[in-house]
Amino acid sequence: MEPDASGKIMTVLGPVGPEAFDRVLMHEHLHCDFFDAASGLPVWEEKPSAGRRDYLMAHAMPLLRECREKHGMTAYLDVTMPPWRGWPELYTEVSRASGVHIVMSTGFYREMELGYDWVDRPERQIWPFVRESPEEALADMCIGELRSGIHGTGVRAGAIKLGASQAPLTAAELKCFRAGARAQIATGALLTTHCTALGGESSQLAVLDAMGVDLNRVCIGHVAQHMTDPAHLKTLLAWMRRGASFQPTNLNASQPQFYRPLAEAIHRVFDAGLGDRLVVSLDHGYGGTGKGFAPADYLPPPPFLYFFREVLPALREWGLSEPELDAMLRLNPRRLLALP
């Protein structure tokens, strides 16, 4: 059964009209379990875990509920892709209990650098399924999760997440981007990316553009650094004029030396008339660490809520107006997440 979702946003509880969405964070991770500290092995398979469910219902769910009740966050886009996501029922249960709509992602993570954390040999750089499968099989997996559901549960993904490390994509990353592009064209879903290297945005967008993806359905992520580099901001503005959206993440209110210039760059994008091409998020959440499954430690606590408690007031103090914040947090996410 595939209920008609055109014009709607595909949440873990089914299609929802965009008018039900108030503030939305567009890049968070309820569950990103990439490494099992107990066995010392990377996680290459998704399966139900009662332990994770109990932990996240106790720790993460109340934070999401407070984001909704106190700060009007009615939804967030969960950008963990397989095989590091939680089991689909985790998201439906957390969504029901917190009252927050959750949009899940399908797709593929980047090929990580050898020597990065637990990546001590080539077979740990990327999900073996990606290495072993042709482009068609990768596209079929994404399309199946977007159209029919994840692991036979009927819970459908509502977005595609892709990643690349450096500006020139590796062969495996290029295969993922081509597969993700096919899934985007087949379904219309938003395609959002991990893009930390300067220049990566142009490599990624060029591949998607050549595949025929409508750049209005693409959002390039982790671009705080790209935006605060004045020369690079010009490159981003040129892509925005062609339709692409961009998302700075990892905003840290205790580091105004980095993030006040970002607020100024955001303001410049609005001055250029391209403020409808920006969304914003934390990239916070819970995942595997050397100590086990825990809150991410690369941002101050608590996950999700930190954005509304600390970052949003800082963005106001640094000069962003209410209409600018409303565009990035409400209007633009509604448009990007709604299926054509």
Using CB under 5 A, list all residues that contact Zn ion: 283
**C-beta closer to Zn ion: residue 19 or 298:** 298
CA-wise closest residue to 6 among 170, 226, 16, 133 = 16
**C-beta closer to Zn ion: residue 173 or 283:** 283
Cβ at position 233, least distance to Zn ion in Å = 22
CA distance 339 to 189: 6
Cβ at position 285, least distance to Zn ion in Å = 8
**C-beta closer to Zn ion: residue 209 or 283:** 283
Single-letter code of the amino acid located at 255: Q
Cβ at position 181, least distance to Zn ion in Å = 20
**C-beta closer to Zn ion: residue 8 or 110:** 110
Residue, CB closest to Zn ion? 283
Cβ at position 32, least distance to Zn ion in Å = 7
| Helix 256-271 × helix 230-241 angle, to 10° | 40
CA-wise closest residue to 103 among 299, 339, 340 = 339
Cβ at position 296, least distance to Zn ion in Å = 9
**C-beta closer to Zn ion: residue 237 or 294:** 294
